[in-house]
Chains A and B, each alone.
Chain A
Amino acid sequence: MTNSVIAEAPPAGADVPVAARNPRVRWILLAIGLVAALALPWFIYPPVAMDIVALALFAIALDILLGFTGLLSFGHAAFWGSSAYVTGLIATHYGVPFPVAVAGGAVFAMILALPIGYVSVRRSGIYFAMVTLAFAQMVYFIGYQWSDLTGGENGLQGVPRSFFGIELIETESFYFYYAALPILLFGMWAAWRIVHSPFGRVLVSIRDNAPRARALGYETDRYKALAFVLSAGLTGLAGGVFAINHGFVALTELHWTTSGDVVLMTVLGGIGTLWGGIVGAFLTVMLADYLASSGFSGIDLITGSVFILVVLLFRRGIWGTVRQQWDVRRRRVAARRALRSYSSPDRSSRRTTSGEGTGR
């Protein structure tokens, strides 16, 4: 009984990105990603661009659990939404610069994740998904009932955007994008650090074989709970920026459809790939934006159909597929090179060891 969500991916290919095996590729990708992030508001309406980056961090945070720990959280809206509300409330009532408010929201999301994580990680796989969904629904009802604080169905209106007294950022979405981008990029970097740390390797071992990880002396529940809290914190960062970006928090942010949407982004981009979250968020937001502007009302019809199709036909996701193709090609090249050096022994001393050490 494996708990890995990545039933189809090769066991070692899922957790070590290609880039990790080839630093040059990693730097090229990073450079492209940074340039894209900086250029985005020049091509896309800045508030939408901000949504893309915020949702990308949301998807990446979810992937820490789904792709690297083998836990599908179907309740991440609880952390996204609660951080959005807390951020909004802090910004509204205390008038602090927005990064402070966002930090407050993220901390709140982590505090909320402690008890939920503590209970949820006692079950794994399918139970975990159901339990997190139920807890998120509980949080949704609290947000719904506590309307003095949250505004109930009307949402939280008029969240200000103050930034150390710089007017431009408070009024212009374009400048706000650049003020908020570092927060989200920091979140992505943190996710990358978590996954590529010894702690992250333990998470992967729990995903691939939990009994073995336990037998090796790792307290799996504690690791899972910590991963859950960290993921919730990063989700909170994203949710906070999202709230400030819109200047308003709707009850939808706590709803289970939000949890589902982010799972779709992650799966569409590719589970266990981090970059996939960015691709998935970009496509989902652009599609929703296009449909909304063309006056199409049944967005869920499209979302649901994409979900069904991706799960049936395209389980690796976009980034996952690209990476796998890349891997195949690289292995072929390495094999050819190995063959060549094998047939002419005089060059064997200069044999490169690319493609080795991947654990396959």
Chain B
Amino acid sequence: MSAVLQYAVQGLAAGSFYALAALGLAVIFGVLGVVNFAHGAFYMLGAVATAVLLDTLDLTLWWSLLVVPVLMFGFGVVVERLLVQWLLQLDPLYNLLLTFGLTLVLVELVKQRYGVSGLPYQLPGGLQGRLDVAGVVLPRYQLFVLLFSVAVCVLVWLMMTRTRIGMIVRAATEKPELARALGINVGRWVTPVFGFGVALAGLAGVLAAPFRAITADMGNNFAIILFAVVVIGGLGSIVGAVVAGFLVGLVEAFGQAYAPTFAQILIFVLMALVIVVRPAGLFGRQEATT
């Protein structure tokens, strides 16, 4: 029993990264219609930035949690203005190809600068060690990640449902045509939303820094799993992205515990099942697709 609980927390902690990053991916897709292949690279940049900030400026994780998303937001705005915006009017496939190219460039740049081996990272004191909760021993940091990302998700959700900006973004994400018809200037929100999505990917990277190897390639597989996550959740759905993120994290953790060989493969099997049963995803609206 205690083992199951341990895996569950592990899975939910891993799911936190997926949930945060997938949330960013879903919002970007909703408002811009862009499937951002570079999302994994942005996650990697977030982790690398965290390690570099600690190394050069002695900024601890607490600071990184604040500073890195802001930096990534700025970076996202630059990428959108410089590259992505020119293709927004075209088939979304072009932006997929563009961000794919961007991924190759970013990963290679990090490789050239920091090499292929992992960057070291030390946890701040308060988050080391383990916590004994009702007979179950849990790593403190995992619990922290879980609580933190749930808090962020709730915060984002409140922002989406309680503030005017959030409602506009949600409307633009879930029903862009209708939002436009109601006189909402969707175009004005494109750049900040892209920055916001990139910031979320960066935030996931900060959280991952302490217990994933920080390498240039850390985002590659992550990006593909993210795609599986948003396909499972339904690409146009914000709630779906978060729920599917945690779900995939759980599948991964239990898979690694009971069938380590198949852990990664299970995620894609789950995706295939969802497509066969509900092509639009768990929370996606069934649309007349072609």
Contacts and interface: CB of A to CB of B under 8 A. Distances in A.
Interface in A1-32: 1-5, 7-8
Interface in B258-290: 261-262, 264-265, 268-269, 271-272, 275-276, 279, 288-290
Contacts of A359: none
A276 interface: no
B272 A135 contact: yes
23 contacts: A1-B290, A3-B91, A4-B91, A5-B91, A122-B279, A123-B279, A123-B289, A130-B230, A134-B228, A134-B271, A137-B224, A138-B269, A145-B261, A211-B288, A260-B104, A263-B100, A303-B101, A304-B101, A307-B98, A308-B102, A311-B97, A312-B83, A312-B98
B103 A134 contact: no
A307 B35 contact: no
Given A256-B220, A260-B104, A307-B100, 16 more contacts: A7-B91, A72-B93, A119-B272, A126-B35, A130-B227, A130-B231, A133-B224, A133-B227, A134-B227, A134-B231, A211-B288, A300-B107, A300-B108, A304-B108, A305-B105, A311-B101
A304 B105 contact: yes
Contacts of A298: 108, 111-112
A310 B221 CA distance: 25
A125 B33 CA distance: 12
Interface in B85-102: 86-87, 90-94, 96-98, 100-102
B290 A137 contact: no
Given A133-B224, A304-B104, A312-B87, A122 B276 contact: yes
A29 to B, nearest CB: 27
A200 B199 CA distance: 44
**Most chain B CB within a 10 A radius of its CB, from A124, A127, A141:** A127
B70 to A, nearest CB: 25
B158 interface: no
Interface of B: 35, 83, 86-87, 90-94, 96-98, 100-109, 111-112, 220-221, 224, 227-228, 230-231, 235, 261-262, 264-265, 268-269, 271-272, 275-276, 279, 288-290
Contacts of B230: 130
Nearest to A122: B279
Contacts of B262: 145
A62 interface: no
Contacts of B279: 122-123
Given A129-B35, A300-B108, A307 B96 contact: no
A120 B289 CA distance: 13
A303 B103 CA distance: 11
Q: Chain A interface secondary structure, helix, strand, loop or mixed?
A: helix
Given A256-B224, A305-B105, A220 B290 contact: yes
A315 interface: yes
Contacts of B86: 312
Contact of B101 (A135, A145, A308): A308
A133 B220 CA distance: 12
Contact of A129 (B93, B104, B264): B93
Contact of B224 (A120, A134, A303): A134
Contact of B268 (A127, A137, A264): A137
A270 to B, nearest CB: 14
A2 B290 CA distance: 10
Contact of A2 (B83, B91, B220, B265): B91
**Most chain A CB within a 10 A radius of its CB, from B92, B100, B102, B264:** B100
A355 to B, nearest CB: 29
B220 to A, nearest CB: 7
A131 B94 CA distance: 17
Contact of A130 (B35, B111, B265, B290): B35
Given A134-B224, A312-B87, A304 B102 contact: yes
Nearest to A212: B290
B198 to A, nearest CB: 17
A134 B268 contact: yes
Contact of B235 (A127, A137, A214, A264): A127
Contact of B100 (A2, A127, A260): A260
A263 B275 contact: no
Contacts of B35: 126, 129-130
A308 B105 contact: yes
A126 B93 contact: yes
